[in-house]
Structure 1
Amino acid sequence: MIQIEVKTFEELTKKELYEVLRLRSEVFVVEQDCVYEDIDGKDQKALHVVGKKDGEIVAYTRIFKSGDYTDEASIGRVVVKRNQRKYGYGKDIMKDAIHAVHDYFEANVIHVSAQMYLERFYHELGFKQVGDGYLEDGIPHIGMVRKS
């Protein structure tokens, strides 16, 4: 089990922020061999959904209200530490992120920019593809929306 918390940027401790940035870098930059600007100036607007196991951040995502990133409320930077993926923490963090979008932003529509190979993962969480596929930082993506 992981313990999941939702925090503003200001509520993140220095240690948590370091762990989040490290985890995002480990997966999105190193593991996926993708050079991109992860520190994009949007973390300050986001709410951060942090999943910890034994005090260490092993799962993470950030959420935005409508208009702060996309027209709809959105979830992004969904990541699980490589050695923790077999436990279903990706679904755990996403379910809590979906609830947080509803609770904090009262939004009924949620957008994700999903890596194409994860379409089924998001579909199982109620997301449907919208539009055509596209490249984002050289990686195939699709837009997906969940309505509730």
Structure 2
Amino acid sequence: MPIQATTVPTTEYVIKLNRLLEKFVVFETVFDEYAQTCRNISLGKCLVNENLETLKLYFEQNLTVLRQFVAQAGSVEPPIVFEQINQELQSALADYVVATETMVDSLEGDELTVYQRIILGRSEQTVQRQRINQVLQAISKVGF
């Protein structure tokens, strides 16, 4: 079911955006924990039930929720003053999803190689998170 876009007043847009991006922090925490779990698996310092197959299932589940979150974030039409900033935000969020997809796709093979690819994907997520932070700083500079 497609999410319907709605244009909102400036202050309301900023409030909605802040609420949405608070949820983004949860994804950051989850994917960081997954990278740590992958590290522990590759070092053999994991719990008995932790393995790459199970980790991939968790990654895929959260990737699905992340995609829904990005769609929801894209459903809020910004006021004209925020259109460029919003496009930059949507681009960074989409690229964050791509980095996450790359991480999920890398969860097959020997544990050390998988971990190295997870770290590369996590680095790309960090780049996108920094882009998102820059967008948030730009929002704070726009006059109301």
Q: TM-score, normalised by structure 2?
A: 0.28
Q: Which has the higher contact order (CA 8 A, sep 6+)?
A: 2
Larger radius of gyration: 2
Structure (1/2) with the larger helix percentage: 2
Structure (1/2) with the larger strand percentage: 1
Q: TM-score, normalised by structure 1?
A: 0.28
